[in-house]
């Protein structure tokens, strides 16, 4: 484990959480968008997007355990990375609004599969995670600065 690896780990989490906040913000902004994509001659509503995170190194618990036993020191990961932004495949909401411009012949409108309550809960969780990683980053930075002051 390098001297600044804790900063790298926190920085990767901060970057990933910022992207997650951007995606959730886009979901909230498009919660009522009925014309997001033109597919096969028809407009489709906005489809909710989600961020998929994965560790930068794909080591299993067994690998970490063996490395700790063999070296006698603690091992850590290298942070997280965004592997993909995927679309939620849940069906669109059907609402009866015959006077809506996008209503079908039966009077139903397809609305995005965005649930504002879920998005707000995700946003709260992401912001808490961002805050925790920012605190961790600042704590490590202040510890390094205090260590430099000891050398004076």
Give the tens place of pLDDT for each residue, 46-81: 999 999 999 887 666 777 677 777 765 555 567 899
In the predicted model, is pLDDT for residue 2 greater than 90? no
Residue range 101-148, pLDDT digits in tens:
999 899 999 999 999 999 999 999 999 999 999 999 999 999 999 988
Pick from 11-20, 35-44, 59-68, 102-111: least confident: 59-68
In the predicted model, is pLDDT for residue 41 greater than 80? yes
pLDDT confidence of residue 40: 87
Q: What is the mean pLDDT of residues 90-109?
A: 93
The whole-model pTM stands at 0.81
3-state SS of the chain is CCCCHHHHHHHHHHHHHHHHHHHHHHHHHCCCCCCCEEECCEEECCCCEEEEEEECCCCCHHHHHHHHHHHCCCCCCCCEEEEEEEECCCCCEEEECCCCCCCCCCCEEEECCCCHHHHHHHHHHHHHHHHHHHHHHHHHHHHHHHHHHHCC
């Amino acid at each position: 484990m390098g001297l600044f690896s804790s900063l790298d780990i926190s920085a990767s989490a901060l970057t990933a959480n910022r992207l997650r906040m951007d995606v959730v913000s886009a979901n909230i902004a498009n919660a009522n968008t009925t014309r997001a994509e033109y597919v096969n001659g028809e407009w489709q509503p906005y489809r909710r997007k989600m961020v998929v995170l994965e560790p930068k190194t794909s080591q299993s618990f067994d690998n970490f355990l063996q490395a700790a036993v063999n070296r006698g020191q603690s091992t850590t990961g290298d942070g997280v990375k965004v592997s993909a932004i995927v679309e939620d495949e849940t069906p669109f909401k059907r609402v009866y609004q015959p006077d809506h411009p996008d209503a079908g012949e039966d009077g139903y409108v397809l609305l995005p599969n965005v649930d504002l309550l879920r998005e707000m809960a995700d946003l709260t969780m992401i912001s808490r995670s961002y805050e925790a990683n920012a605190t961790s980053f600042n704590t490590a930075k202040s510890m390094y600065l205090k260590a430099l002051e000891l050398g004076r």
